[in-house]
Structure 1
Amino acid sequence: MANGSGVPEKVAWILVRDDRVLVTRSHGRDRFYFPGGHREPGESDGETLVREIDEELQAAIDPGSMVHFGTFEIGEGHPDHGPFRMICYTADHRGELTPSREIAEKAWFRYADRDRVSAVDEMAFDALYEAGRLS
């Protein structure tokens, strides 16, 4: 769903463990993405993240622990079908990370795996690496 500017947006979850970040791949896709999704009408970022992570990974996000990590955007005419904006948050969770029907696989990527994610996700990978969070 787009914001007021008409740019499609995704609210994404950044979960880093042992210098690796969690990514998921949907059925029928080759590229991996950060878990998350588009807002439903009237949803806040927190509500979106809680709903999407429950739907995709059957885990419960603690909305009180959400911290904005960064907002990343690709422009019009980008090969990955820009424009597109991804708003990323870190957050604690409860429960195992169990992929749902819509998720073909989850993986833990290092910075060297950056070429296996979308262009906007690559930007977040770069920020995580520069912050010393990925090896």
Structure 2
Amino acid sequence: MSAERVLKGINFAARALYRGNLVKILSKLKSYMSVINSPTIDVVAWICIRDRQVLCARTMGKNVFYLPGGKREKGESDWEALCREVQEELNVSLIAETLTEVMVQEVAHGYTEPTQVTMRCFQADYRGEIIAHSEIESIAWLSYADLDQCAPATQRVLEYLSQQWID
């Protein structure tokens, strides 16, 4: 949940308090405080579009597709983590000069709520041939119609991209 949404909730609660509706305000504050105090998983992801479809990967033992990428190791920048993860997962090298960024936040798949995932999505050209590597069981080129095969944060990205970049 964004800070702006939390502030709107707090403003709502303050107005309710002003009107003397203490039960309503306490309920709203409790729900917003749980989001503020909820753990956040911070990851980087690569958006690769070909023929109006997005490259997604499925990790061994998982039943949904994710955007390629993962968590940073200690001391890594977003770019370093993204390059390492994409190299490990897909056996390709990203080209720094072509980097662009998008930001997405969604409830994390496979974690208990209210855990949040913050996913910084980058688009960049690459060198090499994309193949499933390391812990990746399979890769797929997905469109908006394949939303139900994806983790929630990846669904959010596909929804955004379907506005003009993918089918």
Q: TM-score, normalised by structure 1?
A: 0.88
Q: Give the structure 1 partner of residue 143 of structure 2.
A: 110
- 1:71 corresponding residue in structure 2: 103
Which amino acid in 2 is paired with 1:12? A
Aligned partner of 2:75 in structure 1 is: 42
Give the 3-state SS of the residue equivalent to 1:8 in structure 2: strand
SS at match of 2:159: helix
More relative contact order in 1 or in 2 (CA 8 Å, sep 6+)?
1
Indicate how the Cα distance of structure 1 residues 18 and 79 shifts in structure 2: closer, same or farther if over 3 A, else same: closer
Structure 1: stretches of 5+ with no match in the other structure: none
Structure 1 runs (4+) deviating above 3 angstroms are none
CA distance 1:62–1:28, change in 2 (3 Å): same
SS of residue matched to 1:89: strand
Instruction: Using the TM superposition, give the Cα deviation of residue 74 of structure 1 relative to its aligned residue in structure 2, in angstroms.
Output: 2.1
* Other structure's SS at 1:127 match: helix
**Cα contact 1:60–1:93 (8 A) shared by 2:** yes
Contact 2:106 2:156 in 1 (8 A): no
Identity %: 35
Counterparts of 1:80 and 1:6 in 2: how far apart (Å)?
A: 14
CA RMSD of aligned residues (A): 1.6
2:90 to 57, 61, 70: 57
What is the total number of aligned residue pairs between the two structures? 127
Higher fraction of helix: 2
Q: CA deviation at 1:57?
A: 0.5
Asked if 1 retains the 8 angstrom alpha-carbon contact of 2:43 and 2:119, the reply is yes
* Structure possessing the higher radius of gyration over alpha carbons: 2
